[in-house]
Amino acid sequence: MRSRAAAAPERAAASFLYIGRADGVEERLAQRALIPFEAIETGQVRGMAPWIVARSLGRMARSIGRVRVLIRDFKPTAIFVTGGYVSAPVIWAGAAEKIPSVIYLPDLEPGWAIRATARWATRVAVSFPEVERHFPRGKAVTTGYPVRAEFFQTDKARARAQLGLDPNARTAAIFGGSSGAHHINQAAIANLLELTRLAQVVHLTGRNDEAWANAEVARLPDDLRARVRVFGYLDDDLPHALAAADVVIARAGAATLGEFPALGLPAILVPGPYAGLHQERNANFLVERGAAIKVDDAALRADLLPTLEKLFAAPGTIAKMGAAMRALAQPNAAANIAELLEDISRMKARFAG
């Protein structure tokens, strides 16, 4: 959903331009990091009505011209994109301007945007070796999934202290804050009384459900209400909210493949019934490696509590799942991607010379 152009082969001298959608989370994060941001138009294509597809393609076509102007002004030596529809005009414009590029694929299978643009990219960075098979030999490079350093630096005791939780009580994190995860929040609230009797709960609801969740928590007896922490949105404290938990209940988006392994956090995954079923593949990947349990979205309300009860009754199983999850962590992923960008930057320099 976002793209970034890196403008120098040496990290110490690097400068950046971030290209993304206006008024999206990427604009706020870029501004916070003091990275110049430029907005472009885009739109969804897959599964949309013909008139919406036509409108989206028109926006992308206009954006190609705008990105070419940005490239000529900024003069990057490499382009880095992370998929999504907004990345397509950037890759196409970069190819037209003969700028080497890296696409990062976080999921286990490429979506429409990456399938449509990979042939114009210099390399495709992937999270796991199993993903390389989707691309021609030599095109894909396994770098790992990059996550913030804080995910590797926090720990359970520190995280629980920061959140004011009992350091010794069983704790579950409910990760219902992403787009399309309202059903997870509904299932958690429907089981709230029993959940809080079973464990402490750290519930990331998303902004839309925050007030509703807090109102439901307020109805609990005092002793159980003290066992719940509700957050509408977390940024810097997200690693601590997840690290505090013994197990997390979440969708199976791409971040699941990076953040949960970094923490060694066992997961109950509820793939979203949308987005080309890529969440099913992400969940299956972790389940097959013993790091997660999968629950069907339609059965979540009924199965959530029994699944948690079964896990908490078997601490050995939780320990094995945590070890299996942590075995998938790749703490050098960000450095690997930076090195790959430096490599293709040098390719451009040699070509120009």
pLDDT of residue 344: 92
pLDDT value at 34 more than 70: yes
Q: What is the predicted pLDDT for the residue at 8?
A: 38
Quickly list DSSP for 251-296: ---GGGGTHHHHHT--EEE---S-GGGHHHHHHHHHHHTTSEEE--
User: Could you write out the DSSP letters of every residue in 38-81?
Assistant: EE------TT--HHHHHHHHHHHHHHHHHHHHHHHHH--SEEEE
Question: What does the pLDDT look like over 229-244, one tens digit per residue?
Answer: 999 988 889 999 999 9
Same fold? 3-145+331-346, 150-326:
yes
- What's the pLDDT score for residue 43? 62
Q: Which fold has domain 3-145+331-346?
A: Rossmann fold (3.40.50)
pLDDT digits (tens, 9 = 90+) for 72-94: 999 999 999 987 778 889 999 99
- On the question of pLDDT at 186 being above 60, the answer is yes
Region 52-61 average pLDDT: 66
Average pLDDT, the chain: 88
| Domain residue spans of the chain | 3-145+331-346, 150-326
Q: Which of 59-63, 302-306, 346-350 has the lowest mean pLDDT?
A: 346-350
Give the side-chain half-sphere CA count within 13 A for 38: 19
Non-local (6+) Cβ contacts of 114 within 8 A are 83, 87, 103, 105, 124
222 contact partners, CB below 8 Å, separation of at least 6? none
The two three-digit tokens of residue 256, written as one number: 């699941």
The hierarchical CATH code for the domain 150-326 is 3.40.50.2000
Model confidence pLDDT, tens digit, residues 197-240: 999 999 999 999 999 999 999 999 999 999 999 999 888 899 99
pLDDT of amino acid 21: 84
- pLDDT value of residue 111: 81
